[in-house]
Structure 1
Amino acid sequence: MVLSDALGARLAVVLAAVCSVLVVRWLDDAAGERRAALRSRFVFGVPWATLLVAGFVLGVYLFVQGGFERWNAPLVLPFRAWSYLYPLGVLTAPFAHAGSGHLLGNLVGTLTFAPIAEYAWGHYRRDGDGAASSASASPASASTVASISASVFGRPLGRISVFFVGTLAVGVVTSLFALGPVIGFSGVVFALAGFSLVRYPLATVVALAAGEVLRLVYVALSTPVTTASAEPGFGAPWWAGIAIQGHAIGLLCGVLLGTWVIRRRGEGAPAARLWLGVLIFAVSQSLWAVYWYRGGESYVLFRGVGTALVFALATVVAVGVAAPDRPLSEALAASRLPGLVRERVPFLDRVFAPGSGLGLGSDPALDVDLGFVARRLATVVLVAALLGMSAPAAFANFAAVADGSNSAVSTSEPAAPDGPPDAAVLAAAAANGSGNPGDATGPNLTGPNPGGAIEIRGYTIRYAEGVENRLVSVVDVSAFGETTAVETSGVIVTNAEREIWTTAVSKSRLQFAGRERVRVGGLGWEAVVRVRRTGWTAAGGNTTYKIFTRPPDGDRRLAYAALPATATPMLDGKNVSIAPARTGYAIVVSAGNETLGHAPIPANNGSATIAGLTFDRRGDRLVAVYGDSEIPIAKRETYRGN
């Protein structure tokens, strides 16, 4: 599409949206009332704290993470919440983001829910706002508290500041008690939604849909036309990227804070609306997606358990916020239970008789408020759930993640392919080479190469396979058939000072993409390490490959070499294998465990004769010429990610 067409499409989106809003505004007879309502709660009818929060989050992305220079590739690693022993990450994680899409999603969520929460809070003081005074406090102390309360909670600037600072404080709380190296503002977005739900449940659900409209408008303006075709892709299950525990902590924090505010004011929403609003929000935001990481690229989703938890959450919130005041005597009078009991157990008739001394309704001390008790019990359940989800993270985040510099290199080689010849024998045979200085078949040793590790200002970047995932196994837990003792393979990044241990690029991801970049750094600096994979797939499916790393302003280094791959076809009783070599790859011909000969894979349209067998290179294919036939031997790996 030419530039003028794209510009025309964008103008059409803007014109259609503006005209639609103007028409609805003209048709809406209650527009003036709504503007008056906004001005009654906001200074000049504007949610200033919401704008401050959104601006702060955007500023962190642009100027701290470097998003201003690289909008789609910010610096991420040093700004994750790796451990309590790395406070910089804990403080920056809730406001930093993994990419532009991550940022925009949370900004839309902020602009969707924060205005409702700020409207519920208000810029002008209402009954029940402010600090509670103690009856036992001295007159001087009470006067001081009242003065501070009036200054902070009684003035619009103070209330705007409280909302802004409180929102940031909730972000730090979610960072402190979320499992894993979290990053992003989503925990706060869920807290804002929870605060909004307890006061305006249906408005919050409507705003949830309005957020989708905002996303659509943004995408339509940024990419008005998209051309797509069917193609392979790589990625974990969509639900595996959800920080479910951090989102739940944020939501519960928001619900509890909102409940505290509306109880002081004597406000609230009907139970049915509250239950429905919480249920719709929780389902639409995938709070049911409870999952476990099994290591590598494997995950397990507990959809049934998650669905039950969502219904339980909606019920407990509805009870905790909206359970009506109801004395026990009134509840018994409205219930059919006493009548049924009197019919079947005449002796208990006196217990329920209003005029008897044993009647439960005759003693005020026994006539408790069931609604009050239900609300308090539900609140206790919510607090217990919040503490229960936070405690494991607190324990794990206090544990130091070992550097793992030595263990990051696997001491065991990959398993050899099934059947003859022995892969280790092939590797050793090819390693011997011809002894000539220029021999291109003298390979690098198979397995990890310590010389391929790159050190940059405390960071170590290396490639390893089948090593313990120290990020997951920092706390050893085994339950319900799952365990934290899992392994990982790929590009490992460690930094002992920052408590960083992570698989920056998985083996599967690199196999798909062929090359990746790993960004490391800190405040005011960053460096990029490039990682590349090359390989050959033998006929029959076995693959051999090499991994290279390239430091900034440096030459590439071999980081890893896999074992040779043996083709399934046997030629005249001989096996043909492809083995990593010092330069490129070598063809190795063997019989049993005896190597008959080897030579470099020839250049395109070239040939090589080894142990009486002739091999031709046809572009990315290697074939053996056997009589009048051409037998496929191997094919160079191609990468779909680039």
Structure 2
Amino acid sequence: MGALQFVVGPAWLPVWPMLVCSGVLLSLGIALRIARPQGAWGRRLRSRFFLGIPWGSLLTLVGVGGVYLFLQGGLAHPRRPLVIPFRAWSYFYPFGIVTAPFTHAGLAHVTGNLMGTLAFAPIAEYAWSHFPTARGSQSFSGWRANPFVRILVFPVVVFVVGLLTGVFAVGPVIGFSGVVFAFAGFALVSYPITTVVALSGMQVLNLVYRAMLNPVTTAQAGPGGFSAPWWSQIAIQGHALGLLLGVLLGAYVAYRRDRTPTAGRLWIATVIFVVAQSLWAVYWFRGGGKYVLFRAVGAFLVFLLAALVTAAVTASSRTLVGPIDLRSREAAIGLLISVTLAISVAAVPVNLVTVSEEPFDASVDVEDYTVTYAEDVEDQYVSAFDVSLLGETTDLNTSGVIVVSERRSIFQTVVSKTRLAYNGRARVVVGGPGWRETVVVNRTGWQAAGNSSVYKVFLNPSDGDRRLAFQSKATTIEPRIAGRRILIQPTATSFNFTVIDENQTVGTTAVPAPGANVTAGGLRFNRTDKSVFVERKGTKVRVARKERS
């Protein structure tokens, strides 16, 4: 039966993107034809936006995109930007604290946050308005009523909120998502249902983007490599902080204008948004690539947060405690501020961390960075805080490719031992504004039959001075041949087989080249491309298989 093929025209013709665009335009055209807005949509936009355009949101999009393209080098390396120096490692590294909220870990990361900004920022800006909203007020009647001033206020507030998420997020975070959640928080308070619709609109934007970028995708079942669970990639504390900051700002504007949403709409919208954005994913890193998800705790916090936001924004002004004249709204907003402060203060001890550059067996130094490979060493960043909660602890060891910088308070396992073993190769990019260098890490090894692997890890800096960073201990091959044990062990220059008979070494040989045969201890070692077999009197047993490298 022949394979199914699609004829999509000449290679130079972007048939698939054209198909997606035509589908979007056709659908939108039909909707406009049926709705017949006759300019109503434009008038609605121009009632709040100067020339009907959310200029503040556009300035924000351009600014965040520009940081990724030029400061992080995303223009030259779109999928491998410079990341490490821009994380919020410590208060003793203020450059990272300031840049972390506006930089990103990769193309997918920045794209997701730009889509979130495109979805929620215009709603927040619409609620803010380029024109004064008070009855009888006129544009340009004062500096506060000047549309150009009000346009500029929006990105200025965005920058301030970004700095707050950098200062008070539990490090080492990176990304604009804290501000995106602030946009959403402001929008929820102003237009709850519209915000939920925008949340669905993000999925539409994502579909169109992916359809344009990858119109056809082929997937194949396979053994698959190591990957951390998706929920472990969520900076839940930073997202919650951004959301609460946005809610507080939105509540302030709503109070000033005496325009608050109904409690039911706000509660439903908040629950839907928080669940959809996975703010329920409360987790703990146990070390060794293991994570613990506290789903029940997260579900409880979701509904508690929705109730708190609803009460703070929509509670009445009736007296709650007569003797001190405490009103319901004051109590609710005070509680919301207290929760926001508690979430913020929790980051302070974490962000006071310092690290030291302890000597490693072998490493590569690039300016103030040290790149090395080590196993079962203390994670200086996580273990700096002695915390035990729900049976979990921060006293952790780590294994893998490690980047250390005492000046920048950096200690990060950038590639885990498991991931390097699966891929066989990794690239570590370090640098700073205006410069970057790449250190290539290679792992070569052999999987012993019936036992663990033996391997070596090499560091390859850009100057070409390749050096051995780590070699594992010898391991015993499980099958015995003619009563003899076989050990395989790494050396500085090769991997060796050692043949042992009655606790005596009777032969040693290096792993032969592909297609070659060698004899040691009365056993014949034969190598194919990826495997080594031992032959003895008509018996042939595979004793080792080469790892991916």
Give the TM bin, normalised by the shorter chain.
over 0.9
Question: Partner of 1:85: helix, strand, or coil?
Answer: coil
Q: Displacement of 1:230 after TM fit?
A: 1.5
Structure 2 unaligned runs (5+)?
A: 1-5
Match of 2:470 in 1: 560
Correspondence for 2:204 among 204, 213, 219: 213
Match of 1:291 in 2: 283
Correspondence for 1:248 among 214, 226, 240: 240
Query: Alignment identity in percent?
Result: 47
> Are the aligned partners of 1:567 and 1:577 in contact in 2 as well (CA < 8 Å)?
yes
Q: Displacement of 1:591 after TM fit?
A: 4.0
* Structure with a larger share of its residues in strand: 2
Match of 1:405 in 2: 358
With structure 1 as the length reference, what TM-score do the two structures score? 0.81
Question: Partner of 1:570: helix, strand, or coil?
Answer: strand
Correspondence for 2:228 among 221, 236, 244: 236
Aligned residues: 539
Change (3 A) 1:129 1:537: farther
With structure 2 as the length reference, what TM-score do the two structures score? 0.94
**1:381 maps onto 2:329 in alignment:** no
Correspondence for 2:513 among 577, 580, 603: 603
Question: Which deviates more from structure 2 when the two are superposed, residues 603-612 or residues 185-194?
Answer: 603-612
| Residue deviations 1:526-563 (CA, integer Å, cap 9, x gap) | 00000000000111131100000101031321110000
Alpha-carbon distance between aligned partners in 1 of 2:401 and 2:297, rounded to the nearest angstrom? 34
Alpha-carbon distance between aligned partners in 2 of 1:373 and 1:122, rounded to the nearest angstrom? 30
| Residue deviations 1:206-233 (CA, integer Å, cap 9, x gap) | 0010111111111111121112212313
**1:277 maps onto 2:290 in alignment:** no
Question: Which deviates more from structure 2 when the two are superposed, residues 583-592 or residues 172-181?
Answer: 583-592
Match of 1:26 in 2: 33
Correspondence for 2:130 among 119, 123, 127: 123
**1:572 maps onto 2:482 in alignment:** yes
Change (3 A) 1:129 1:306: farther
Match of 1:223 in 2: 214
Alpha-carbon distance between aligned partners in 1 of 2:54 and 2:500, rounded to the nearest angstrom? 76
Question: Partner of 2:481: helix, strand, or coil?
Answer: coil
Which of these two proteins has the greater Rg computed from alpha carbons?
Answer: 1
> Are the aligned partners of 1:624 and 1:630 in contact in 2 as well (CA < 8 Å)?
yes
- 1:408-487 aligned at under 5 Å gives the runs 409=360, 450=361, 452-487=362-397
> Are the aligned partners of 2:317 and 2:328 in contact in 1 as well (CA < 8 Å)?
no
Alpha-carbon distance between aligned partners in 2 of 1:376 and 1:617, rounded to the nearest angstrom? 78
Match of 1:311 in 2: 303
Match of 2:404 in 1: 494
Question: Partner of 1:567: helix, strand, or coil?
Answer: strand
Amino acid at match of 1:319: A
Alpha-carbon distance between aligned partners in 1 of 2:290 and 2:169, rounded to the nearest angstrom? 22
Alpha-carbon distance between aligned partners in 2 of 1:286 and 1:367, rounded to the nearest angstrom? 41
Question: Which deviates more from structure 2 when the two are superposed, residues 195-204 or residues 372-381?
Answer: 372-381
Change (3 A) 1:153 1:3: farther
Alpha-carbon distance between aligned partners in 1 of 2:269 and 2:92, rounded to the nearest angstrom? 39
- 1:500-539 aligned at under 5 Å gives the runs 500-539=410-449
Alpha-carbon distance between aligned partners in 2 of 1:151 and 1:398, rounded to the nearest angstrom? 44
Alpha-carbon distance between aligned partners in 2 of 1:499 and 1:236, rounded to the nearest angstrom? 24
Change (3 A) 1:89 1:507: same
Alpha-carbon distance between aligned partners in 2 of 1:395 and 1:592, rounded to the nearest angstrom? 59
Q: Displacement of 1:127 after TM fit?
A: 3.1
| Residue deviations 1:324-345 (CA, integer Å, cap 9, x gap) | 35578xxxxxxxxxxxxxxxxx
Alpha-carbon distance between aligned partners in 2 of 1:127 and 1:320, rounded to the nearest angstrom? 23
Structure 1 unaligned runs (5+)?
A: 131-148, 329-364, 410-449
Match of 1:10 in 2: 17
> Are the aligned partners of 1:539 and 1:633 in contact in 2 as well (CA < 8 Å)?
yes
Question: Partner of 1:126: helix, strand, or coil?
Answer: coil
